[in-house]
Structure 1
Amino acid sequence: MITLFDHPLSPYAQKVKISLIEKGLAFEAVLPGGLGAGGAAGAFVEANPRAEVPAILDGDVRVFDSTIILEYLDDAYPTPPMRPTSPAERARVRMLEEVMDTHFEAINWGLSEIRWFRRAEGASAEALTAAARRQTAGFYAWLERQLGDRTWFNGETFGWGDLSVVPYLNGSVGHGHPPPAGSKLAAWLARANERPSVAACVADIAALNAGGPVMTNVAELVEKGLFKREYRDHRLEWMIKSGGVEVVLKGLERDNIRFAPDFG
């Protein structure tokens, strides 16, 4: 059985879970300790020295990074394929994935920094939120064009292109920024959320929240330096270009942000 190191709120991990379920593969989802607070160790760090989800164990095989995991799953378990058939279509959905994994993910991540971790308040928070809303609307227009007259981003069937988009759009809905009502994108999102694989990810988030909101008091943990959010490259870029350079400088001063660990 495949072991998936997972966190239900991670859109990167959701991508992998959707692929595993679509392929009908048995897997065990494991929530590793030390995420955010530090101290991650054991099989999780052996599988991913970057100490971030997702990572998988498949027998003796260890793979990290959501894109590389998706490639591995399609190579090792080719039926049903998540990738389109032609090289041009594969390139198209991979470009779509790249945009969502970097530029779009950073927007929702930044909103979480403001909404849950209270990195900025007052006028500063309002300005960052306005920038996020404007940027999200721009990406929605771009995604609408990418979808065009297709039923699925992947083409005729649900696949790589769709699982690369749906976790992020559901995240935007959670932040109060849904796709425009009546748009093709909104209709696509409704169809995607009806997939059992996507619904399972939504259910995992609901289960995580069953004992109360998972983000309760996290701002206090950040303030005390007990929880450090990772400012990976595209997130750092978003915060600076959107007017949050003071957030970064304050986080560095208080030592409550982190970067990727050194390998060793």
Structure 2
Amino acid sequence: MSKPYLHEHPLSPYAQKNKIALREKGVAFDCGVPSGLGAGGAGGDFVAANPRAEVPTLIDGDVRVFDSTIIQDYIEDRWPIPALLPAGAAARARVRMIEEVMDTQYEATTWGMMEVKVFGRATGPVGEALVATAIAQVAGLNDWLERQLGDADWFNGDAFGWGDIAVVPFVLGAVGFGAPPQGENLKAWLARCMKRDSVAQTAAEAHAAAAVVAKTVPGAIASGAFKREYRDHRLEWMMRSGGVDVVLAGLAAGNIRFGAEIK
């Protein structure tokens, strides 16, 4: 039987969650970036598997799964050993609530910093204000994470698992933008995570991709060849954080896009 295939982008924290989970399970898989993804013109088996044309999307034989959290559920059901979800309804609800915060509010802040610091969506005082807002928001979120972790070694409980996988890609993304954790427990937790091969390999792939993106994508955005997706929580973040003009300028320039229409 062929290996599962993950349509992804190494910088996507959502895809990173799935790659860490697969690696923790010891599942061999192939992965790659769908052609035409950044231009809003993806097609082929990727869009056949995911009508939203978003990464990550997992193909496992005849099975097609999209949305990173649903993919995590599938991975846990498909390859149950070692278990990544903690035991008990309350513990599972807790890590899934943490995941929801990371997927929505935390991701939006690091996405916004990339829009400004890497892709130059805003410069001068406006850009500085947007970055300062994002850094303050990350600090608040990290304080919340510090309280969620408490004195435990892992968000998941006794061992590394779902709760930690849900957090680590996003925190690493913030570190890359100069917003590292300040709490001692969260810093120690991050150091423990980085000692795991699954996390270290995924982080190294993201680091390598970041250098390529920083070199090639800003020009492609300026020309309109690359269109960033401003969906749900990301659009909300930009609008409420002072970036209304960024959105309007992107629409006028034709270098932002929204979710694909499902037909």
The residue number in structure 2 matching 1:30 is: 32
Is residue 2:161 matched to residue 1:156? no
| Partner amino acid, structure 1, of 2:105 | H
Partner of 1:192: 193
Q: Distance between the aligned counterparts of 1:104 and 1:46, measured in 2? A: 30
Q: Is 2:40–2:257's contact at 8 Å kept on the other side of the alignment?
A: no
- Is 1:231 aligned to residue 230 of structure 2? yes
CA distance in 2 between counterparts of 1:57 and 1:159 reads 23
The answer for unaligned runs of 5 or more in structure 1 is none
SS of 2:233's partner is helix
- Alignment coverage as a number of residue pairs: 261
Kindly provide the CA deviation profile for residues 84-139 of structure 1, in whole angstroms up to 9, marking residues without a partner as x.
11000000000000000000000000000001111100000011011011111101
1:163–1:258 distance in 2 versus 1, CA, 3 Å: same
Distance 1:77 1:137 in 2: 36
Q: For the residues of structure 1 that align with 2:21 and 2:244, how far apart are their CA atoms?
A: 37
Which SS does the other structure have where 1:215 is aligned? helix
Measure the CA separation in 1 of the matches of 2:32 and 2:252: 33
Structure 1: distance between partners of 2:213 and 2:239 = 27
TM-score (structure 1 length as normaliser) = 0.96
Deviates more, 1:69-78 or 1:214-223: 214-223
Deviation at 1:39? 1.8
DSSP-derived class of the 1:53 partner: coil
1:206–1:237 Cα change, 3 Å: closer
TM-score, normalization: structure 2? 0.96
Report the equivalent of 2:248.
249
Report the CA distance between 1:82 and its aligned residue: 1.1
Q: CA deviation at 1:207?
A: 4.0
Q: Structure 1 runs of 4+ off > 4 angstroms? A: none
* Cα root mean square deviation, aligned: 1.2
Matched letter for residue 87 of structure 1: A
TM-fit CA distance, 1:220: 2.3
Instruction: Give 3-state SS (helix, strand or coil) of 1:165's partner.
Output: helix
Alignment-derived partner of residue 17 in structure 2: 15
State the alpha-carbon separation in 2 of the partners of residues 220 and 60 from structure 1. 38
The code of the aligned residue for 2:246 comes to V
Shift of residue 222, structure 1, vs aligned partner: 1.3
What secondary structure sits across from 1:246 in the alignment? helix
Q: Which moved more, 1:21-30 or 1:215-224?
A: 215-224
- Assess, with a 3 A threshold, how the Cα gap between structure 1 residues 146 and 204 changes in structure 2: closer, same or farther: same
Partner SS state of residue 5, structure 2? strand
Cα separation, 2, equivalents of 1:228 and 1:79: 39
Q: Which residue of 1 aligns with 2:50?
A: 48
- For the 8 Å contact 2:6–2:59, the answer to whether it is kept is yes
* Percent of residue pairs bearing the same amino acid type: 58
- Tell me what 2:92 maps to: 90
Higher helix share: 2
Task: Measure how far apart 1:257 and its partner are.
Answer: 0.7
Q: 1: CA distance between counterparts of 2:7 and 2:112?
A: 24
The structural deviation recorded for 1:31 is: 1.8
- 1:22 Cα offset (Å): 0.5
Which amino acid letter does the alignment assign opposite residue 187 of structure 1? A
Give the letter for the 1:196 counterpart. D
Aligned to 2:169: 167
DSSP-derived class of the 2:179 partner? coil
- Name 2:184's counterpart in structure 1: 183
Instruction: Measure, in 1, the Cα distance between the counterparts of 2:33 and 2:220.
Output: 19
Alignment of 1:66-105 (within 5 A): 66-105=68-107
The equivalent of 1:261 in structure 2 is 260
Unaligned runs of 5+ in 2: none
Where does residue 116 of structure 2 map in the other structure?
114
1:26 Cα deviation from its structure 2 partner: 1.2
